[in-house]
Each structure stands twice: as C-alpha cells, then as structure tokens.
Amino acid sequence: MAEVITKTSFMRSLKIQIRVLNALILREIITRYGRSNIGFLWLFVEPMSLTLLISLMWFFF
C-alpha cells in the first residue's frame, strides 16, 4: 500500500493548531470550573480583584 502524502499550507496548519489549542483550553476550563457561568466568571474576577486590592494597598499605605 502506497501512502499518499499531501502537502498542507502553512496557514491551514496554523488554523488546525489554533483549533486544537482552543479545544484543549476549553476542556481545561470546563474540567476545572464546570459548566456553570459563575465558575468561568470567577476565572477572571478573582485575579482582577486581587490586583485591585494590592494596588489599593500600595496607594493608601
């Protein structure tokens, strides 16, 4: 059996890699935070609130 090797363009390969990375990131987020929107929201709210708290401490103390 002869293997058929097809050449893919760089842009097509890049699009495939981006889709794979997006799928892996989405799987990790769903695994960690579940399907609830509040869990996904917490992913962004918690680091921003910590940054704001530290900034306020530096400003006032």
Segment 19-41, tens digit of pLDDT:
999 999 989 888 887 777 787 78
1 has a pLDDT exceeding 60? no
Question: Which residue type does 9 have?
Answer: S
- Domain assignment present for residue 25? The answer is yes
**Distances from the Cα of 40 to the Cα of 12, 18, 36, 44, 47, angstroms:** 30, 21, 7, 7, 12
- Domain assignment present for residue 47? The answer is yes
Contact predicate 8/17, CB 8 Å:
no
- Domain assignment present for residue 4? The answer is no
- Domain assignment present for residue 31? The answer is yes
7 has a pLDDT exceeding 60? yes
Would you state the pLDDT for residue 17? 96
CA distance 22 to 28: 10
Supply the DSSP symbol for 51. Answer: H
pLDDT-based confidence at 58, cuts 50/70/90?
A: very high
